[in-house]
Amino acid sequence: MIALLAAAFVGYALLLWQGPWWLDGDRLRRRDLQPADGVVITGFRTTLVALGAGAVAGAGLFYTDRTLRHTRDRDREQAQIARDGQVTAHYVEAIKLLASERTVERLGGIYALERIMRDSAKDHLTVVEVLAAFVRDQVSVAPGTEPAPAELLDESVQAALTVLGRRPPVEEPFRIDLRRTDLRGADLQDARLERVRLAGARLEGANLIGAHLEKAWLRETQLGGVWLDRAHLEGAHLRGADLRGASLKETHLKGTRLFNADLSTAVGLTPGQLGEAVHDVETKLPPAMESKSRGRPGGPGVGSSR
């Protein structure tokens, strides 16, 4: 770089010195210069000096711009490091609150995690998994055991479910795991729980009106008395699910797998909805629809081989 600058300086000096004769040597005298010669030489050198000054100014501006860019990038990196440190500190504090015995502190931890999830996209997946693990830890149902009589869902568990249901729309490489949890009476209206795993969960009496459960895994899930009005169950798996007494008014059932599910006392189910779903001969339908379905070509039995 230094050699290049030195060569440029030497070339510029030579151009100042000999440039007029290199450019117009046929008409310029080298001795006994006349006024006309002086005008040409002075004009050329003045122009060259102005160009040189402009080049120096341009180089100065370029260097200043590079310096400012470098400074901004460095400041941005430092700010990001500081921000990451703050997020980490807030995350650790939120986890401590989540483990508290006091409900109000657990709520603080849950909403702090929601803030982190919204402010830091790279922490989204971690927060989702932590909240799902918290729910499983608080209301898990051991296989083969009956849960205690239904009580009002713990406030902190409801808060964690609410946060999960309204999380930002980010592509997630995993399914939210809420298998074998006791979520009876939960309020999940309009919740975004696409592809959620709720196999073996207890959801009796829950509010799932308008909820998004596309491609959810609801195998052997207890859904008795659940409000599923206008809910989205497209492509969901409900093999062996108990939907007795569930409200299915305007529920979206396109491609929903209802193999061996019990809808014998479901409310609001229409032939049009059932026609979009996939069911087999073991699916228990409301009495008014049972005979129609069995007499309809392509009804129960179509999906029995799946």
Which of 112-121, 224-233, 290-299 has the largest mean confidence? 224-233
Cα–Cα distance between 89 and 67 in angstroms, integer?
A: 33
The confidence band for 25, taking pLDDT boundaries of 50, 70 and 90, is low
13 located within any domain: no
The confidence band for 207, taking pLDDT boundaries of 50, 70 and 90, is very high
Asked whether residue 210 falls in the same domain as residue 279, the answer is yes
Residue 109 has pLDDT above 60, yes or no: yes
Residue 84 has pLDDT above 50, yes or no: yes
| Total number of domains in the chain | 2
Instruction: Count Cβ neighbours within 10 Å for each residue of 112-139 and write b for 16 or more, e otherwise.
Output: bbbebbeebeebbeebbebbbebbeeeb
Given this model, what pLDDT does residue 259 score? 96
Residue 176 has pLDDT above 50, yes or no: yes
Task: Output the pTM of the full model.
Answer: 0.71
Q: What is the pLDDT of residues 224-272, one digit of tens each?
A: 999 999 999 999 999 999 999 999 999 999 999 999 999 999 999 999 9
Of 83-87, 112-116, 128-132, which range is least confident?
83-87
Classify 263 in phi/psi space as left (phi over 0), alpha (psi -120 to 50) or beta: alpha
Asked whether residue 93 falls in the same domain as residue 207, the answer is no
Q: Residue 254 CA to chain centroid, in angstroms? A: 26
Q: What is the CATH number of the domain that holds 287?
A: 2.160.20.80
The helix/strand count (H/E) of the chain reads as: 7, 0
Sign of the Cα torsion 27, 30, 36, 41 reads: positive
- Range 98-112 average pLDDT: 95
Asked whether residue 245 falls in the same domain as residue 302, the answer is yes
Given this model, what pLDDT does residue 212 score? 98
Asked whether residue 212 falls in the same domain as residue 306, the answer is yes
Cα–Cα distance between 199 and 139 in angstroms, integer?
A: 14
215 located within any domain: yes
211 located within any domain: yes
Given this model, what pLDDT does residue 26 score? 57
Asked whether residue 112 falls in the same domain as residue 210, the answer is no
Q: Which residues pair with 267 in a beta bridge?
A: 247
Q: What is the pLDDT of residues 134-147, one digit of tens each?
A: 999 999 987 767 76
Range of the domain at 112: 85-142+152-166
Asked whether residue 130 falls in the same domain as residue 186, the answer is no
Residue 301 has pLDDT above 50, yes or no: no
198 located within any domain: yes
Boundary of a domain, candidates 166, 201, 236: 166
Cα–Cα distance between 104 and 2 in angstroms, integer?
A: 67
The confidence band for 68, taking pLDDT boundaries of 50, 70 and 90, is confident
Asked whether residue 208 falls in the same domain as residue 115, the answer is no
Average pLDDT, the chain: 85
Of 26-30, 234-238, 240-244, 279-283, which range is least confident?
26-30
Which one-letter amino acid corresponds to residue 73? D
- Range 87-116 average pLDDT: 92
- Range 154-178 average pLDDT: 96
Residue 153 or residue 73, greater confidence: 153
